[in-house]
């Protein structure tokens, strides 16, 4: 039998080998470890893969509805505010892919570059490494430590590449450049901290502004904690990051609230009920009326017919 200290040494060797297979990218094992409550499908790298149909339904969810569900589940630090936006009237929804930068440090930058170029065959600069991994439905979430002057790593060239790969925009905790060109990308709904016409420099032997230290690692955006695979919901000037195992609950809660609001508003306009009756816990008669209203309008409502049928089967109000 191998002595315990040898077993430990062997485990550490395996861990560090797996961790460095791709430069700065978290290992599949570690990502699975950090998302234990997700029981569904995953990407090859271990990132949770929330189904496309839930992403489509998430577009109708408000920040208030998502925040209320997360707060009720004791997830208090998932919302980030104070953004500038591109396409502010649109909604950004997708699965988070994260990149973490720090202020440039030559010694770290050199070894990361060397490993990326020699071991992983990456010939581009570090700011493109994470972008190469993006897929349809992803949102590129970047901790750029709020960098402003000489900080932007994203302009219209990388913006077009991101949009071509994902069909989405970005959440970028720093400055962007080429804002006019980014606005020309029709669906590039994006949230960023500031604009500056300069650009980052990544020469460890000269001008160096940023160094990439993490790909698909947990990160902080504002006061929010973000895990790769979280579902990003950006709208109305704010962004909330929804843990994958809570996405379905957020969507279904939102749909119920939406339908009840539609019913309540209609009945108030018809003066069938008073505001006091609608604002308080509904009586049994109102609940029965709501069920009948759902049946009568099932083909007209902004919630999929299948979801309404499911609601009518399972509702206990």
CB atoms closer than 10 angstroms to residue 256: 16
* Cβ contact 37:243 at 8 Å: yes
Q: How much is the pLDDT for 120?
A: 67
Three-state DSSP class for 259? Answer: helix
Torsion of CA 141, 146, 150, 153, to 10 degrees: 0
Q: How much is the pLDDT for 15?
A: 40
Q: Which residues of the chain have pLDDT under 70?
A: 1-23, 119-121, 123, 314-317
In angstroms, rounded to a whole number, what is the distance separating the alpha carbons of residues 57 and 204? Answer: 45
Interval 276-303: pLDDT, tens: 999 999 999 999 999 899 989 888 888 8
Interval 154-186: pLDDT, tens: 999 999 999 999 999 999 999 999 999 999 998
In angstroms, rounded to a whole number, what is the distance separating the alpha carbons of residues 262 and 152? Answer: 44
Q: How much is the pLDDT for 49?
A: 98
């Amino acid at each position: 039998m191998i002595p315990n200290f040898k077993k430990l040494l062997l485990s550490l060797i395996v861990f560090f080998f797996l961790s460095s297979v791709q430069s700065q990218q978290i290992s599949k094992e570690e990502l699975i470890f950090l998302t234990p409550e997700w029981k569904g499908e995953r990407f090859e790298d271990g990132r949770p893969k929330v189904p496309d149909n839930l992403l489509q339904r998430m577009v109708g969810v408000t920040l208030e509805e998502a925040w209320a569900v997360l707060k009720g589940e004791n997830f208090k630090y998932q919302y980030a505010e104070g953004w500038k936006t591109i396409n502010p009237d649109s909604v950004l929804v997708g699965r988070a892919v994260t990149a973490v930068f720090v202020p440039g440090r030559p010694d770290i930058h050199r070894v990361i570059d060397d490993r990326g170029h020699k071991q992983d065959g990456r010939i581009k600069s570090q700011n493109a490494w994470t972008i190469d991994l993006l897929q349809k439905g992803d949102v590129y979430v970047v901790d750029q430590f709020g960098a402003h002057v000489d900080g932007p790593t994203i302009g219209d060239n990388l913006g077009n590449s991101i949009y071509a790969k994902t069909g989405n925009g970005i959440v970028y905790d720093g400055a962007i450049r080429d804002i006019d060109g980014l606005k020309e990308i029709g669906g590039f709904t994006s949230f960023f901290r500031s604009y500056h016409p300069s650009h980052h420099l990544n020469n460890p032997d000269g001008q160096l502004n940023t160094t990439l230290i993490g790909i698909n690692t947990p990160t902080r955006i504002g006061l929010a904690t973000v895990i790769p695979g979280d579902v990003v919901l950006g709208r109305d000037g704010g962004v909330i990051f929804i843990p994958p195992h809570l996405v379905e609950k957020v969507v279904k809660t939102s749909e119920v609230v939406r339908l009840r609001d539609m019913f309540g508003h209609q009945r108030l306009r018809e003066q069938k009920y008073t505001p006091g009756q609608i604002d308080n816990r509904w009586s049994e008669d109102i609940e029965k009326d709501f069920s009948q209203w759902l049946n009568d309008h099932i083909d007209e409502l902004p919630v999929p017919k299948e979801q309404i049928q499911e609601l009518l089967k399972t509702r206990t109000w």
